[in-house]
Amino acid sequence: MTIRLDRDAERYLLGRREHSAMSSAVLDAAALRAEERNLRHRYGHGPRMWSESSQPASGDVPRHHILDPVESAVGELIYIHGGGWVMGEPEDYLAVCRALAHASGWRVVVPDYRKAPEHPFPAGLDDARAVVGHRLSIRSSDAEPIPFGVGGDSAGGCIAAVLAGEHSAAVSVQVLITPVLDSDLDTPSYLDPQRQLTLTREVMAWFWDQYRPGGDRTDARLAPLRSTRLADLPPTVFVSVGTDVLKSEGDAYLQRLRSAGVDVRHRDFPGQLHGFFQLHNVMAASAEAVDWIAGELRRVSSPGRTALVETGGHQ
């Protein structure tokens, strides 16, 4: 295939290759984290919320932000951020999560979680699981609980997919944006030289070595594509990127969901880059993705909604 990038993506990729710590011959977790913090200002604040709070860590529940766009949110989404299980903080995603909350009417909760290599698998998963359990316990006391969803991008999407399976009875929707779904680095998209862009096979191998430095990587808690219980999953909203090294595993996951009878809504952004969703105010496609996902969340929270249906391609 011939990779054709959108204009925003071309400009971003050029700058990323020239200046990013991700392009270093020797990757360093501290440098990657510092770069993310230094670039956070580009995203702006995002829409103002009706109510916003930052909850400190308590017991086994890590710190998390709660974004309420309106007085009575119509749903609640736990959004687990990406970063290869190594870098990233909730603050890097608050602008886009505020935009998603504003567009959907859903409360968005953005947790922090422990990062590798200091805290390898399953530390990050355990932290996210604690936040989901905490929020579900609050929901259980509501007289009329609103729909509840889990979502995330990249490595956060991996964690979200695991937790959606664990809490399938309580989760109304999972929202996955260019998620990591398998540990196989020899798929067609991983081996495609044209797809070695913002996220490369080499960088992904390094992320895996930090998160799971030894032992089996085929555990479904690491590789949700390998789960034997996909039929139990809730309706799924899925964003893929045509240029992504993760594209093959995403396609395989979608096919398995369809075969298992899971309701799926899928949109591909063929000219974008892995990580584009986070880039609020940088990539026009980020706003497009926010609006599309928000529409699907409104469908879930509407009493008269129809089942989610598959739509491929960039609408």
C-alpha distances in angstroms, 66 versus 55, 107, 159?
8, 7, 19
Q: Would the pLDDT of 21 be above 90?
A: no
Residue among 244, 251, 263, 268 flagged as catalytic: 244
Give 28-75 pLDDT, tens digit per residue.
999 999 999 999 999 999 999 999 999 999 999 999 999 999 999 999
Count how many Cα atoms sit within 13 Å of the Cα of residue 185 in the half-sphere of its side chain: 13
Question: Is residue 227, in this structure, part of any structural domain at all?
Answer: yes
Q: Is 274 a catalytic residue?
A: yes
Residue among 65, 68, 81, 154 flagged as catalytic: 154
Q: Is 154 a catalytic residue?
A: yes
DSSP type of residue 235:
P
- Give yes or no for a contact between 69 and 62, defined as CB atoms under 8 angstroms apart: no
Question: Is residue 255, in this structure, part of any structural domain at all?
Answer: yes
Report the pLDDT value the prediction gives residue 8, as an integer from 0 to 100: 93
C-alpha distances in angstroms, 224 versus 64, 88, 207?
24, 22, 17
Query: Residue 299 is which amino acid?
Result: R
CB contact burial 37-70 (16+ within 10 A = b; e otherwise): eeeeeebeebeebeeeeeeeeeeebbbbbbbbbe
* Structural domains of the chain, count: 1
Write the CATH number for 163: 3.40.50.1820
**H or E element, residue 139:** helix 123-139
Question: Is residue 140, in this structure, part of any structural domain at all?
Answer: yes
| Opening angle at CA 94, ends 91 and 96, nearest 5 | 135
**Contacts of 106 by beta carbon, 8 Å cutoff, 6+ apart:** 69, 73, 74, 75, 76, 77, 100, 149, 294, 297, 301
Question: Is residue 240, in this structure, part of any structural domain at all?
Answer: yes
**pTM as predicted:** 0.94
Q: 234 is in which domain, residue-wise?
A: 7-301
Nearest to residue 110, comparing CAs of 154, 68, 165?
68
- 131 vs 300: CA distance, rounded Å: 22
Across the range 120-138, mean pLDDT stands at 97
Q: Would the pLDDT of 309 be above 50?
A: no
Question: Is residue 315, in this structure, part of any structural domain at all?
Answer: no
Give 215-268 pLDDT, tens digit per residue.
899 999 999 999 999 999 999 999 999 999 999 999 999 999 999 999 999 999
Residue among 81, 167, 274, 280 flagged as catalytic: 274
The two structure tokens encoding residue 208: 């895996």
CB contact burial 169-183 (16+ within 10 A = b; e otherwise): ebbbbbbbbbbbbbb
**Contacts of 161 by beta carbon, 8 Å cutoff, 6+ apart:** 174, 176, 179, 181, 224
Report the pLDDT value the prediction gives residue 305, as an integer from 0 to 100: 45
**Contacts of 231 by beta carbon, 8 Å cutoff, 6+ apart:** 260, 261, 262
Question: Is residue 311, in this structure, part of any structural domain at all?
Answer: no
Q: Is 244 a catalytic residue?
A: yes
Question: Is residue 99, in this structure, part of any structural domain at all?
Answer: yes
Count the helix, strand and coil residues of the chain and give each as a percent rounded to the nearest 5. Answer: 40, 15, 45
Question: Is residue 307, in this structure, part of any structural domain at all?
Answer: no
